Structure 1
């Protein structure tokens, strides 16, 4: 069986982290989102077909021609034009039944297994508390798909479309008939309607496991928390006698943990990272390769991408630091509002309630701060932004 994985989009809601990196390669738990997606379906997939677009060469370079022994074929979607259009790019490769997963949606292995076991075409659903924000699925008495209604004000059921499918190759005929929606995209839900109108049965796979669409920066933190909750202790790097490592912590080969450091898991420290002396790492934290977190630095529940440097006397909480960020001494991150309400963040020009009581900052690649800088909760700084010494940053910068 083929596993078609959609990984062509830029992920503009994730900016600035996706300014020069495709979203499916963003790390959670120290590994790209795409690898976690692959892991869930290794038992049922004989070949991956990855649909690439934005910075597709980066995806090829990172994943290569196989993942854990399963071959990878790449097809390109030159312009983002909807899910049906993305799936259509795999037609030249597909000659048997296949499943479709998104490269930025985390599920557990029971979902691809259930799709693989279902008969013919199939759609995955999951119960949600507020269906009005989703495509809502109605099920016929025989258990097949009856209808999908997009974001209804009066939902007929509580079953949301997960966005994962299984198809027979005959689906490509119906994708070819699919017309552009008002959004200018070719929607796979219209393709499903065409299949139904032509009396094709579509199985409904009900799924009640983990489901996370990693579309915005704080959702990457949630993904990191989920993944690190399942790691097991594995210490292969160099840990000084005067350091203390507690709980489920992974320290990769060639990483260094110096005297006076305390690491409380779950946490992962990638190769060539250097922690300490006298640093404190706690919560669900992923320290990327080549990261330096030095003297008097506390990092809590955060993701530090490769090459980031927090050399001394700083606090980083519930935050994401892009590649090669460099924070001046005494840079402090606020991760809690004074009124104790959930933190808001601007996404594509609109203020969004993140639902997180604690959320720090998102810094694009190459950001540099001077000494004694304060960054307010929910602030985003675009790639290569410079912050002057002593500044208090209350608003986003560099995201035009």
Structure 2
């Protein structure tokens, strides 16, 4: 069994952050989104992993993620010259995949466990495809499945106006080698892409064994700012291990589950968890509220944050209004002039500088 993780695409829904980096490397609780998927796959016992990368961000993905040693895996990088669809990604990875069954995992998704259980089910029933589904309130925004009571998939429809169910396709799939024949037999959609839903529908039409399982845990698609913040909240709620390695002065207060990295100094500040502070940060006269992640090398002076994500080496200085529901890019610099607004909410890209007047 192999794995194929998709880490290409342009990440347009997370701009401006993704003008300068891969969306799959945006951190959730100070860990790149992509790494959660790799860890879940390795936990399921799959260690031979191919990662689809794009020309724009591929080198960054390779540099940060490496050859897989840190995960106990072997990683092969596969360049997709243009984002021509999920099925196209499988097609260009065929040399890596060979005849092996595989899991396909979208690199900007995070799910709550279960991969090993579903893998056993896929193998024991000798399925051609096993897809993951989750009930959603807005099925027209997703690929939707029509499933019989025994879990057999009858039909897949991409973003239907009249959905046959409220079961949306999650970005995780198990496939046998028969998917390659299916992909070779389909044509590009009206979007000009080879759609994985069309390939799966081809298998269904040919009478192949295609089944679905519904996820009961959480599923996080981190493609938008609010989704990213929700993923950060859930990960901090469920996976944060409190630890303090930095220097906390006597006038500071740490309340609840908080992780603070080595080399970080906290002066006259209050941190209320769940929250995570990276390495080599400097915090002075700050309040850091719940569900906040602060990456390495960040400087915060007289700042008040809650339910926000601050990326590496950003600076926030002298903003006395509370910053909430915000994502602050790498090396961004926020400062404030004497006349200040009453409420602040940001989505700020890397290397920005903003002064509020």
**Normalized against structure 1, the TM-score is what?**
0.82
In structure 1, what is the Cα distance between the partners aligned to 2:343 and 2:104?
A: 37
Which moved further from structure 2: 326-335 or 189-198? Answer: 326-335
Offset from partner CA, 1:322-362 (integer Å, 9 cap, x none): 111112245867658xxxxxxxxxxxxxxxxxxxxxxx211
2:195 to 176, 184, 187: 187
Per the TM alignment, residue 170 of structure 1 is displaced from its structure 2 partner at its CA by 2.5
In structure 1, what is the Cα distance between the partners aligned to 2:246 and 2:90?
A: 42
Q: 1:314 to 1:189 in 2, by over 3 A?
A: same
**Normalized against structure 2, the TM-score is what?**
0.92
Structure 2 match to 1:50: 51
In structure 2, what is the Cα distance between the partners aligned to 1:317 and 1:330?
A: 19
In structure 1, what is the Cα distance between the partners aligned to 2:200 and 2:178?
A: 12
1:84 to 82, 87, 102: 87
Instruction: State whether structure 2 residue 280 is matched by structure 1 residue 292.
Output: no
Do the aligned partners of 2:101 and 2:174 also contact (CA within 8 Å) in 1?
Answer: yes
Per the TM alignment, residue 84 of structure 1 is displaced from its structure 2 partner at its CA by 0.3
Aligned pairs for 1:115-126 (under 5 A) are: 115-118=119-122, 119=125, 120=127, 121-126=129-134
Q: Secondary structure at the match of 2:233?
A: helix
1:311 to 290, 311, 317: 317
Q: CA RMSD in A?
A: 1.8
1:103 to 98, 102, 107: 107
Structure 1 match to 2:13: 13
Structure 2 match to 1:367: 352
Q: 1:158 to 1:327 in 2, by over 3 A?
A: closer
Q: Secondary structure at the match of 1:93?
A: helix
Question: Which sections of structure 1, spanning at least 5 residues, go unmatched?
Answer: 337-359, 374-389, 391-400
Do the aligned partners of 2:42 and 2:72 also contact (CA within 8 Å) in 1?
Answer: no
Q: 1:202 to 1:334 in 2, by over 3 A?
A: farther
1:145 to 147, 153, 156: 153
In structure 2, what is the Cα distance between the partners aligned to 1:319 and 1:38?
A: 27
Do the aligned partners of 1:2 and 1:47 also contact (CA within 8 Å) in 2?
Answer: yes
Structure 1 match to 2:25: 25
Structure 2 match to 1:340: none
Do the aligned partners of 1:266 and 1:283 also contact (CA within 8 Å) in 2?
Answer: yes
In structure 2, what is the Cα distance between the partners aligned to 1:128 and 1:272?
A: 41
In structure 2, what is the Cα distance between the partners aligned to 1:146 and 1:189?
A: 12
Which moved further from structure 2: 208-217 or 51-60? Answer: 208-217
Structure 2 match to 1:225: 233
Bigger fraction of residues in helix? 2
Do the aligned partners of 1:99 and 1:116 also contact (CA within 8 Å) in 2?
Answer: no
Do the aligned partners of 1:317 and 1:334 also contact (CA within 8 Å) in 2?
Answer: no
Q: Secondary structure at the match of 1:72?
A: strand
Per the TM alignment, residue 112 of structure 1 is displaced from its structure 2 partner at its CA by 5.6
Which moved further from structure 2: 208-217 or 107-116? Answer: 107-116
Q: Secondary structure at the match of 2:19?
A: coil
Q: Secondary structure at the match of 2:87?
A: helix
Do the aligned partners of 1:101 and 1:165 also contact (CA within 8 Å) in 2?
Answer: yes
Offset from partner CA, 1:289-347 (integer Å, 9 cap, x none): 110001x22111111111111122433222111111112245867658xxxxxxxxxxx
Per the TM alignment, residue 271 of structure 1 is displaced from its structure 2 partner at its CA by 0.6
In structure 1, what is the Cα distance between the partners aligned to 2:33 and 2:116?
A: 16
In structure 1, what is the Cα distance between the partners aligned to 2:212 and 2:194?
A: 22
In structure 2, what is the Cα distance between the partners aligned to 1:216 and 1:13?
A: 5
Q: Secondary structure at the match of 1:328?
A: strand
Instruction: State whether structure 2 residue 213 is matched by structure 1 residue 205.
Output: yes
How many residue pairs end up in the alignment?
346
Do the aligned partners of 1:21 and 1:55 also contact (CA within 8 Å) in 2?
Answer: yes
